[in-house]
Chain A
Amino acid sequence: MKTTMMAAALAAGFGGMAQADANDVKLQLQWVTQAQFAGYYVALDEGFYDEEGLNVTILPGGPDIAPPQVLAGGGADVMLNWMPSALAAREKGLPVVNIAQPFKSSGLMLTCWKDTGITSVEDFKGKTIGVWFFGNEYPFLSWMSQAGISTDGGEDGVTVLKQGFNVDPLLQRQADCISTMTYNEYGQVLDAGIPADELVTFKYEEQGVATLEDGIYALEQNLEDPEFVDKMVRFVRASMKGWKWAEENPEAAAMIVLDNDETGAQTEAAQIRMMGEVAKLTAGSNGALDEADYQRTVDTLLAGGSDPVISAAPTGAWTSVITDAALK
């Protein structure tokens, strides 16, 4: 009943486009065009998608675009998302499934002023920390919950600021620490003139609270359609080819990303630096999700204690069907 009605309504609307659908893929990125998504742009420009007979449209994201919502509304066929956000969406009733995991390790970290005297997690108490939201808050909340530090402020807790997607709270001293990515915001702090020896960083990977980041997700009901599955197999194969090409040719990949940047806001130096750092995160993955990594992410999220990101171990949240066929 549930899917029949929705499918009937959608089919009535998209009846005319049925034929073209078999090779069209719309990919919703998590953020604006940048080297974090180089693999897909490389696959587009180097013709890997064309070789598979696919017509791929890459939709850049931005500050107020939540990829799960775009997927739910039918605006895209696949999305990129961090696993905590995708698992939380799954619990909220949006059945997204991980079909590939190009990013093996996490680039998330907290960057603090050294003069705040913070040297370990315990020193976070009583400090102000900038945290991104819109799906990116889960690793932090999980970490604080595991460390037993409340996020409500006060002497024994951390005061959380909803950080915009920039590094201003650190520069303006409105926060003691901010969330940064190894490949993006950390470089922005250095570019702002802060020498690295005035900063102290905490990488989530080193703290043992890292969660899987950029993964490719699709809706469960779409994965029941063999035509869609075939489309996804070709898409993942070409995308991973793009990623491996980007890892071997970081500067060329950065230039391809710049060519595709419609806003003109990205700079060559920043993108080359970003590609170099992203290559470290995608190295070691051929696209298939490693179950041990998945389990580590789930365990980190479930260990949240009083404020868990997800309340129960998810079932059916990932599938190897696509990657098994793509990487044969």
Chain B
Amino acid sequence: MIYVVFAVLLWVSGWMLNVRLANGPHAQSRSIQLLVPAIFGLTILLIWELIVRGLSVPLVILPPPSMIAGRFAGSLPILWQDFVQTFVKGALSGYVIGCAAAFILAIVVDRFDFLRRGLLPVGNFMAALPIVGTAPILVMWFGFDWQSKAAVVVVMVFFPVLVNTVAGLRDTSDMQRDLMRTYGASYSQTLMKLRLPAAMPFIFNGLKIATTLALVGAIVAEFFGSPTRGMGFRISTSVGQLALDMVWAEIVVAALAGSFFYGAIALFERGVTFWHPSQRK
């Protein structure tokens, strides 16, 4: 009971501290901007720990963060193996293949209008296929290993990147295209020097969306058949074994991987689209 009281006090004090910092004189400084979310996150973890221990919540319902951290630290080889299997082999390879295919198809579709009218609805349909239906089929076709997971990821990331790239390629105004024409630019010169750079914000939008889809797709695809490693495998079998702390440890790995993946693409975007209004500080 004392723990619960303590948790409530912690919550109130953390809140007050953050309000004070956010409205204080140095609110715009870098260190305060990092500190406020950090305090928030830390408060949540501490409240979680205290409430779970104070109310003696069963471990199979919700383990405390300290147990999860312990399991995380103690299972690093397993977690690394799962990470490589799911993220590097499954999600990343599917992401690269899917985005490359979508990009190339978008350029072709942009060139020939009748293809756009024909292929975009098909792409739309493919995007609507539920992954829980397509994953078992792809496992049947491509086998149990990472190849079927990459296939699932390809299906999932294909449409968002295609749609965004097509939209981006159409984003240049008539004035800009006419200017290139007056310079005597060929189709490919216009493409490389005007239309692709102008399409970059859209393309990166699609790529960022695809990062989350890729990770989700790879993990969920593993529920339907996998060798005995991989994040999806570990999560589903740990649930079956009631090892919820392992499930949470894998969730932490997935969250870290997803955040870094997204951050890497965003960083790349900042370099390529430095000229765009969204990149202004």
Contact = CB atoms under 8 A, between A and B. Distances in A.
Interface of A: 1-2, 5-6, 64, 66, 68-69, 72-73, 85, 88-89, 92-94, 133-135, 137, 151, 153, 159-164, 168-169, 172, 174
10 contacts: A64-B236, A69-B60, A69-B242, A89-B60, A92-B59, A92-B243, A134-B236, A135-B241, A162-B233, A169-B144
A64 B144 CA distance: 19
Give the residue among B144, B236, B240 with the most A Cβ atoms within 10 A.
B240
A25 B223 CA distance: 32
Nearest to B230: A162
A93 B237 contact: no
Contacts of A94: 58, 60, 242
Given A69-B242, A134-B237, A162-B227, 10 more contacts: A5-B55, A66-B240, A72-B242, A92-B243, A93-B58, A133-B240, A160-B227, A162-B225, A162-B228, A164-B225
A89 B60 CA distance: 9
A6 B243 CA distance: 21
A162 B221 CA distance: 12
B239 interface: yes
Contacts of A163: 225
Contacts of B56: 1-2, 5-6
B158 interface: no
Contact of B240 (A6, A134, A161, A174): A134
A93 B55 contact: no
B224 to A, nearest CB: 6
B143 interface: yes
A88 B60 contact: no
B140 A92 contact: no
Nearest to A166: B136
Contacts of B144: 161-162, 169, 174
A66 B59 contact: no
B55 A162 contact: no
A89 B241 CA distance: 7
A69 B239 contact: yes
B18 interface: no
Contact of A160 (B59, B136, B228, B239): B228
Contacts of A168: 140
A159 B227 contact: yes
Contacts of A172: 140
B242 A88 contact: yes
Contacts of B61: 72-73
A151 B229 CA distance: 12
Contacts of B227: 153, 159-162
Contacts of B239: 64, 66, 69, 134
A-B interface, 10 closest residue pairs, ranked by CB to CB distance from nearest:
A134-B240, A2-B56, A133-B237, A92-B242, A93-B59, A72-B60, A160-B228, A94-B60, A89-B242, A162-B226
B225 A93 contact: no
Contacts of B136: 164
Contacts of B143: 174
Interface in B189-242: 223-228, 233, 236-237, 239-242
A278 B60 CA distance: 32
Nearest to B238: A133
A74 to B, nearest CB: 10
A163 B225 CA distance: 6
Nearest to B233: A162
A160 B229 CA distance: 10
Contacts of A93: 58-60
